[in-house]
């Protein structure tokens, strides 16, 4: 993380400079990798789809038996205070909730809430124009519905992703596809159905938005997708808050269709961008 002297963070009940924010080494996040987080985007000073991200943050905390030290309305106030202080109109806010300062290195204690804000930018246009190559790997995230801080497998595989000249790695188990380490996955079938895995995935907010937008124009389904379905798909793409929609044009050694981003994918990206722009016009600050 950048240690820009001008960035403020929320830590231990206060808004302080990032360079002054420290967590004690007894925190369960350090000792055991125990914690959850969430991340949302701010466009034109407006936090996009904030209620959806907050709902997921509280749900992840519940699933990991961690209690958020604020009710949602109070947490929102803190978020707006931080945004006011930082003044970064195009940015992302990350809320991390850790297992706390554990006496014995295993038993959770009062959770620590850390909130940071950083500038973000969209993926370069050429990534969307060209699409990406991905590789596949057999793995299922533990407690997939929770946005935990455990990205061990994804981080460990980064070297292999690079070695294969790919951009990301798609998890599957017994031939059934789930998600990427940090993104959700979609295919467009030959008869223009928009499909995304329904089980063992994090319910991405971008996934939700794309499903709703797609349902206005195409048959849409959240259910099992196999590697064979992917091999026969007309188009494929990934979704996430920072990446929005990125077309996938190659899986391991196999091209998808003609190896170019598909028209339904690009159409949905336009719709998603329009939805985000529409939200960003509701400038509440």
Ligand X SMILES: Cc1ncc(COP(=O)(O)O)c(C=O)c1O
Q: What is the largest CA-CA distance in the chain?
A: 58
Q: At its nearest, how many Å lie between ligand X and the CB of residue 5?
A: 28
| Calpha distance 145→223 (Å, rounded) | 15
Q: At its nearest, how many Å lie between ligand X and the CB of residue 208?
A: 8
Q: At its nearest, how many Å lie between ligand X and the CB of residue 107?
A: 26
| Calpha distance 119→8 (Å, rounded) | 12
Burial (Cβ within 10 Å: 0-12, 13-18, ≥19) of residue 187: buried
Q: At its nearest, how many Å lie between ligand X and the CB of residue 263?
A: 22
Q: Based on CB atoms, which residue is closest to ligand X, 172 or 207?
A: 207
* β partners of residue 148: 36
**Interface with ligand X by CB under 6 A: which residues?**
147, 179, 182-184, 202, 204-207, 239-241
Q: Based on CB atoms, which residue is closest to ligand X, 20 or 199?
A: 199
Q: Based on CB atoms, which residue is closest to ligand X, 109 or 127?
A: 127
Q: At its nearest, how many Å lie between ligand X and the CB of residue 240?
A: 4
Do 213 and 179 touch, CB atoms closer than 8 A?
no
Do 10 and 113 touch, CB atoms closer than 8 A?
yes
| Calpha distance 280→284 (Å, rounded) | 9
Q: Based on CB atoms, which residue is closest to ligand X, 183 or 211?
A: 183
Q: Based on CB atoms, which residue is closest to ligand X, 8 or 161?
A: 161
Length of the chain as a residue count? 285
Closest residue to ligand X in the complex (CB): 204
């Amino acid at each position: 993380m950048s240690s820009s002297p001008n960035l403020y963070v929320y830590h231990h009940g206060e808004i302080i400079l990032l360079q002054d924010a420290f967590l004690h080494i007894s925190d369960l996040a350090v000792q055991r990798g125990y914690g959850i987080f969430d991340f949302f985007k701010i466009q034109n000073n407006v936090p996009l789809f904030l209620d959806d991200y907050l709902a997921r943050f509280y749900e992840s905390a519940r699933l990991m038996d961690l209690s958020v030290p604020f009710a949602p309305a109070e947490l929102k106030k803190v978020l707006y205070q931080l945004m006011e202080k930082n003044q970064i109109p195009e940015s992302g806010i990350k809320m991390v909730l850790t297992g706390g300062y554990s006496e014995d290195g295993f038993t959770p204690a009062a959770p620590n809430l850390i909130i940071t804000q950083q500038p973000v930018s969209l993926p370069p246009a050429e990534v969307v124009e060209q699409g990406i190559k991905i590789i596949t790997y057999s793995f299922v995230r533990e407690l997939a519905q929770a946005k935990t801080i455990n990205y061990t497998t994804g981080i460990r595989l980064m070297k292999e992703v690079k070695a294969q000249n790919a951009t990301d790695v798609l998890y599957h188990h017994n031939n059934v596809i789930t998600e990427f380490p940090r993104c959700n996955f979609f295919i467009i079938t030959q008869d223009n159905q928009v499909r995304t895995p329904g089980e063992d995935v994090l319910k991405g907010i971008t996934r939700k938005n794309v499903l709703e937008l797609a349902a206005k124009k195409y048959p849409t389904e959240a259910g099992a997708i196999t590697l064979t379905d992917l091999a026969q798909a007309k188009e494929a793409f990934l979704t996430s808050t920072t990446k929005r929609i990125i077309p996938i044009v190659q899986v391991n050694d196999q091209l998808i269709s003609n190896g170019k981003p598909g028209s339904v994918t690009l159409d949905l990206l336009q719709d998603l961008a329009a939805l985000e722009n529409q939200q960003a016009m509701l400038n509440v600050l």
